[in-house]
Structure 1
Amino acid sequence: MLKKVRQKGILLIGLLTVAISVTACGNNGGTPNSSGSSNAPNLNAAPEASPAVDTGSKDEPLVVYLNDFDEIIKPMFEEATGYKLELVSGNGAEIASRIEAEKGNPHWDVVWMDAMPTIDQMGKNGQLLEGWSPNNVDQLTDFAKAFVPENKTYYPTGAHAASVIVYNTKAFDANTAPKTWADLADPKFKGVVGMADPAVAAPAFPFVAWFFQTQGMDGGQKFFDSLLKNDLHVYPKNPNVAKALTGGEIKAAALQESNAYTLKNAGEPIEIIWPEEGAPASVRVAAIQKNTKHADAAKAFIEFILDPKTQQALIDKGEESYFEASAKGVTEKSDRAANAKLVVAEAAWAGEHEGEIKQWFADKAVK
């Protein structure tokens, strides 16, 4: 039986996410956060402007919807460019609802998320600025260039393991801990493994999507069925998984890599395993809203976050600092595993099957 570790409200969020065609992030409140950015855009914003025409002013903030990460980007960008920036942050399901609700009159200028499949679909649906290339696009690594779509609607800013295997050293040692993804379904790990909900946590969907693409829909269902039948614990977000792991509720987990290394650096009794078959990656991408009235600022923002100096600063000082940069010449964290291997689900395939896969998980979670 699947452990019921989520409240009904969380399950409803997951189901609502399946019902909409766009997934991103954003909080519902309008209270400023600690960085001085607002958690809600101006609901009385002006109507849509013509595509790629900048009718805004430098006195008006560029509104960026993003996951709960790297608020240091606000002062960095404002100092470097002179543009004002307003960050609207939240988890994937939260921003999904906001973007969908604003579909007729978007209040965002840029979306920057761990949601490449979703943003790929947004580009195909005509929601994003097409055909524009940043001036520094040639600085992308070969790995990153492979993710730029033909219609040039979004650009990758980095990739990180949506999940690595993490275990509590008080429960297992190097010999007894799970070492492969298949190991998580072993009966000896029954009831002690956790992961984040792919319908809520932005990185969790790219994680599960890789298994569904590589093993086929039937194979993917069979694999996760084996985990669920092994009493897999499913939590709303990765920080919830991390808390359960250190609190003793679970003994092992599929956990996003920044969360994993944060635990280890804090002295928690955990170890990190990068499976030889690879860790399914979440590719963080940025895209511009087709009808933004701040086109110049939006383009400046994309070029800024693609800059090697910016990406190095995010690795050195950012909240989500464990990732493979998309720009050349960036040095990763020294303690990030030398054998870190990322594997990525194809964006178009994952986007086309996102609703079906999330619905399958939601059905499994509802009892």
Structure 2
Amino acid sequence: MRDSLQQARVLLRPQMRLFYLLGCVLALLAACGSPSQSSSSNSSTGSTATCDKSTGLTLYSAQGYDSDAAKAFQKQTGIAVKLVDDSTGNLLAKISAERNNPRWDVVWFDGNVTMQTLDDQNYLLKWTSPSASNYTALGTQNTPSDHAYYPTGVTAAGAIVYNKKHIPAAGLPKDWSDLTKPAFKNLLAENDPAYSGPAYPFIAGIAQSMKGEDQAKQFFQQLKSNGDKIFQTNDPTLNSVETGAREFAIIQDSAYYAAVKAGQPLGIIYPTSGVAALPSEIAVSAQSRHQACAKQFVNWVLSAQGQSVMTHHDPTDGDTYFIDIINGVTPVVTRQTDGINMITLDVPKWAGVETELKQWFHDNIVQ
């Protein structure tokens, strides 16, 4: 779950090349020999083949707790796991480059919009995990109908963070529209969706809650006119509030909880009109040669046993602060879970316009 940890949908190093490579990666996923539709369809809960434990599976992941999970799964089951840990963008580039000879069996990163793109291009296996019965209502809401990928936890793509020691005379906003008022001029910072993974789902959530792209574009233009400052990712955006350069920041909420754990005197506001849910997602390759092992890993991640490993991850890592969506899980870290109006995105819709909306944001808000 990388943002400052480089969690953008098409985040490729070096950073100054990222925006231009966005179109290239999406084009590769869309047009360059994606797997056939027939290879992606499998409605069974298991594979006819058995899992060769010594061969195991290859996991492509951008999650902070992926190493903990891989080691625990291997220890508990005896199934070997080869972990390739990288940014989401780099993993997408690898998946595209390997389209004719995929080397991955399972992929795991933040963002259902991004995962939907892989699904649309037939990279993912459609199958029913028996562990899906473990979901809470929030987990079920964020599971696609074709079961090509499964949520493993949820955070808010964007919430308003402030420094408790620098509350401005204007007071605290209650909803997104408050940030456009003159009293909040030159007080806000947010992330650039060309670099920040959670930024685009946040934009999509604004558009969905405001009933349209045009309304969302007007909102962001109003923010710009009111002095909104754009930083690349969560870290510099949050730092602007910590240092007092800005009074409010729109960031992924898990980054806030990690900063508070580190001792920062911050507060958080979940706007009343809603915040976009940002699920972490896991999926099996439609062309995996080790589907039986891959499915076992996904089933384990969606169990209370697998989730326990994730919740016991490093409390200074923002990835640990997800809202659990599996019944029977007891969180170790503390975060707000109640009183949040969580918006479940219309994923196919926003996946279809992502490139256009990001380009518009760059041309009209960042520039």
- Tell me the TM-score range normalised by the shorter chain: 0.7 to 0.9
- Could you say which residue in structure 2 is the equivalent of 1:330? 329
Give the TM-score normalised by structure 1: 0.81
How far did 1:225 drift?
A: 1.7
- From 54, 72, 78, the equivalent of 2:74 is 78
Look up the equivalent residue of 1:14 and give its one-letter code.
F
- Could you say which residue in structure 1 is the equivalent of 2:7? none
Look up the equivalent residue of 2:201 and give its one-letter code.
P
Q: In the aligned structure 1, how far is the partner of 2:110 from the partner of 2:221?
A: 25
Instruction: Check conservation: 1:193, 1:233, Cα contact below 8 A.
Output: yes
Structure 1 regions of 5+ residues with no counterpart?
1-7, 25-49
Q: Secondary structure at 1:201's aligned position in 2?
A: coil
- Could you say which residue in structure 1 is the equivalent of 2:320? 321
Look up the equivalent residue of 2:134 and give its one-letter code.
Q
- From 119, 122, 125, the equivalent of 1:126 is 122
Q: Secondary structure at 2:162's aligned position in 1?
A: strand
Q: Secondary structure at 1:108's aligned position in 2?
A: coil
- From 171, 188, 191, the equivalent of 1:176 is 171
Look up the equivalent residue of 1:67 and give its one-letter code.
A
Q: In the aligned structure 2, how far is the partner of 1:105 from the partner of 1:365?
A: 40
Look up the equivalent residue of 1:331 and give its one-letter code.
T
How far did 1:166 drift?
A: 0.4
- Could you say which residue in structure 1 is the equivalent of 2:275? 279
Deviations 1:69-120 (A, max 9, x none): 2132122221122222233334343333333333333332211121211212
How far did 1:324 drift?
A: 2.0
Identity of aligned residues (%): 29
In the superposition, relative to structure 1, how do residues 353 and 310 fare at CA in structure 2: closer, same or farther (>3 Å)? same
Q: Secondary structure at 1:325's aligned position in 2?
A: coil
Instruction: Check conservation: 2:321, 2:334, Cα contact below 8 A.
Output: no
- Could you say which residue in structure 1 is the equivalent of 2:241? 245
- Could you say which residue in structure 2 is the equivalent of 1:154? 149
- Could you say which residue in structure 2 is the equivalent of 1:232? 228
Matched, 1:65 2:55: no
Q: In the aligned structure 2, how far is the partner of 1:309 from the partner of 1:166?
A: 33
Look up the equivalent residue of 2:117 and give its one-letter code.
Q
| Number of aligned positions between the proteins | 334
Deviations 1:231-289 (A, max 9, x none): 32223322332233223332211111111011122221211112222221101111111
- From 246, 250, 263, the equivalent of 1:254 is 250
Deviations 1:147-176 (A, max 9, x none): 322322111112111121100123216971
Q: Secondary structure at 1:112's aligned position in 2?
A: strand
Matched, 1:17 2:22: yes
Look up the equivalent residue of 1:203 and give its one-letter code.
P
- Could you say which residue in structure 1 is the equivalent of 2:284? 288
- Range that drifts further, 246-255 or 156-165: 246-255
- Range that drifts further, 81-90 or 136-145: 81-90
Give the TM-score normalised by structure 2: 0.81
Structure 2 regions of 5+ residues with no counterpart?
1-12, 30-38, 41-46
How far did 1:128 drift?
A: 0.8
- Range that drifts further, 233-242 or 218-227: 233-242
Instruction: Check conservation: 2:161, 2:251, Cα contact below 8 A.
Output: yes
Q: In the aligned structure 1, how far is the partner of 2:16 from the partner of 2:214?
A: 23
RMSD: 2.8
In the superposition, relative to structure 1, how do residues 139 and 192 fare at CA in structure 2: closer, same or farther (>3 Å)? same
Look up the equivalent residue of 1:156 and give its one-letter code.
P
- Range that drifts further, 298-307 or 169-178: 169-178
Q: In the aligned structure 2, how far is the partner of 1:190 from the partner of 1:23?
A: 41
